[in-house]
Each structure stands twice: as structure tokens, then as C-alpha cells.
Amino acid sequence: MIIAVDGPSGSGKSSTARGVATRLGLRYLDTGAMYRAVTWSALEHGLDLDDTEAVAERARQVELSISTDAQHARFTADGTDVTEAIRDPRISASVSKIATNLAVREELIRRQRAIIDEAVDDTGGIVVEGRDIATVVATHAELKVLLTADQDARMERRKAELAEGAVTAEQLRDQIVRRDADDATVSEFQVASDGAVTVDSTHLSLEEVIDVISRLAKEAEAAPRDRES
């Protein structure tokens, strides 16, 4: 089974997808971390992020190692563990330039599909979260979810993820609002795709959201058997 979870910044995609993967015994892929890892690599190499071809070449060359263990998500770029580094505010401030580079997207989508195929072959399923999983990366997913929340809730959740004083209120709003606006130019993640279920998490706890999506997954998994019988 492939479960695709899309949605805007701060909607709870990562925590929810990890929780669903853990509960259902599936693998987990944070595609946003891949864009962050490329951002880290480009900055480490001193690239001008506006040089789209140089950045795209870096995306093609960088060696990424992505753990799909929901309990032990680790990321390395060219042999360096960047699990913590990619959450740094400087990465958050720059990642949209990477995520809106169409050649970078093409390369990372290729890698994402390979990871998904391997997970399905090896373990039987994976929960994948990002911006365009249901619409581009894994259009054949058995369950497609658009996870949303109002802006205030998303800002509060993102703030809770960061160390106290790590960013100002203005920087936080920029991460949420500006990044969503930028990413919307290359990815349609604010409207549910065909066959997707919209889950509004504004007034739900994390466990409640995990409950909803896990139930939907079990229903989706049973549906083919129901049709066959």
C-alpha cells in the first residue's frame, strides 16, 4: 500500500505520516527533507541558488541516503549526517528556491519513485508526505490525503517544532505563508486531487489525525477485496 499525504507548511504532515507509518507497520518518506538536503548541499558548495542549472547539477550529483524507518529518520548528504542541519532556519529560508527549480524537482521525483518502489517491494507499503505526492510522485497511491489546517494553527505547530527564540514571528510567518505561495507556483497542493480525502487538522490532536488516516487506509486496503467478493 502507498499512502500519499500532501498539504501546506505546518499542517502536521511529517508527524502524522510518521505516526500512521508506525501504527500500520509501513515505511515512511519525508520528501521535503530531500529538498532540504539538496539546499544544504548547494549552500555548502557556495552555489548561487538563483543559478538554476548549477543547482540542478548539484541535485543530480549529491549522494543522498534517506532512512525510511519511521522511528529513526536519518538523512545524509555526501556522507555527512544532515538530519539536524536541514532544519536550520537558513535552510528553511532558502529551500523554496530549490523546490521551485523544475530540474531539481525532476531529479528528486525520480529518486522518490525509486524509494517508493523499493519500499513496496521489500515491505509492502510506505507513507509518503510532501506537496505533490498524490498528483505527481505517486498518482497510483491507494490512499491520497490532503491534510490542511488554518494558518494560525499551522504557525503554532511550526513554532512548537523550533527551539525557543530560533526565529522571529516575522520569519515564522515567512516560512509558512511565503513558502506556500512560492511552492504553489510549481505544485498544486492546496486543492484535493481526484480521489483524495481532505482532512482538516485545525481542531484535531495528532493522535486523532493518525486515527482518521489509519482508518481510511484500512478501508482503502479492504476495498479491492470487497469488490472482488
12 among annotated binding-site residues? yes
13 among annotated binding-site residues? yes
Which residues have CB under 8 Å from 100's CB, separation 6+? 182, 183, 185, 186
205 among annotated binding-site residues? no
Q: CA 38, CA 41: separation in Å to the nearest integer?
A: 5
214 among annotated binding-site residues? no
32 among annotated binding-site residues? no
79 among annotated binding-site residues? no
Task: Let me know the angle formed at the C-alpha of 41 by 16 and 8, rounded to the nearest 5 degrees.
Answer: 30
Grid coordinates representing 159 are 513554532
89 among annotated binding-site residues? no
Q: CA 68, CA 87: separation in Å to the nearest integer?
A: 18
User: From the annotation, which residues make up the binding site?
Assistant: 7-15
User: From the annotation, which residues make up the binding site for ATP?
Assistant: 7-15
